[in-house]
Amino acid sequence: MADLTIYLGNKNYSSWSLRAWLALKRTTVAFDEVVVPLYQPTSRETVLKYSPSGRLPALKHGELTVWDSLAICEYIAESFPTFDLWPKDPAMRAAARAVSAEMHAGFQALRQHLPMNIRSSFPGREITAEVQADINRIMSIWRDCRARCGEGQGDFLFGHFTVADAMYAPVASRFRTYKIELEREAAAYCDAIMAMPEIQEWITASRNEPMVVEQFEF
Using the predicted structure, report yes or no on whether residue 175 has a pLDDT greater than 80. yes
195: CATH: 1.20.1050.10
From the list 127, 117, 125, 20, the residue with the least C-alpha distance to 75 is 20
Q: Which helix (H) or strand (E) holds 138?
A: helix 129-149
User: Do 59 and 22 share a structural domain?
Assistant: yes
- Residue at 102 is within a domain: yes
User: Do 88 and 68 share a structural domain?
Assistant: no
Q: How far is CA 161 from CA 78, 97, 155, 170, 187, in A?
A: 15, 13, 8, 15, 17
Span 77-104, average pLDDT: 97
Using the predicted structure, report yes or no on whether residue 206 has a pLDDT greater than 90. yes
70: CATH: 3.40.30.10
- Residue at 215 is within a domain: no
Q: Which domain holds residue 77?
A: 4-82+203-208
- Residue at 217 is within a domain: no
- Residue at 218 is within a domain: no
pTM of the model: 0.94
Using the predicted structure, report yes or no on whether residue 130 has a pLDDT greater than 60. yes
10, 209 in Cβ contact below 8 A?
Answer: yes
- Please give the residue that has the higher pLDDT: either 149 or 112: 112
Span 82-101, average pLDDT: 97
pLDDT computed for residue 124 by the predictor: 86
User: Do 98 and 72 share a structural domain?
Assistant: no
Span 171-182, average pLDDT: 97
Domain count, the chain: 2
User: Do 192 and 116 share a structural domain?
Assistant: yes
- Residue at 192 is within a domain: yes
User: Do 52 and 87 share a structural domain?
Assistant: no
User: Do 105 and 70 share a structural domain?
Assistant: no
Apex 132 CA angle, 129 and 135, nearest 5: 160
Read off the pLDDT of residues 153-169 as tens digits, 9 standing for 90 and up.
Answer: 889 999 999 999 999 99
User: Do 169 and 142 share a structural domain?
Assistant: yes
User: Do 146 and 117 share a structural domain?
Assistant: yes
State what percent of residues in the chain have pLDDT above 90. Answer: 87
- Residue at 49 is within a domain: yes
- The dihedrals phi and psi of 117, each to the nearest 5 degrees, come to -155, 85
Span 77-93, average pLDDT: 96
User: Do 94 and 169 share a structural domain?
Assistant: yes
157, 146 in Cβ contact below 8 A?
Answer: yes
User: Do 43 and 109 share a structural domain?
Assistant: no
Instruction: Give the integer Cα–Cα distance in Å for 189 and 130.
Output: 23
User: Do 116 and 59 share a structural domain?
Assistant: no
User: Do 108 and 168 share a structural domain?
Assistant: yes
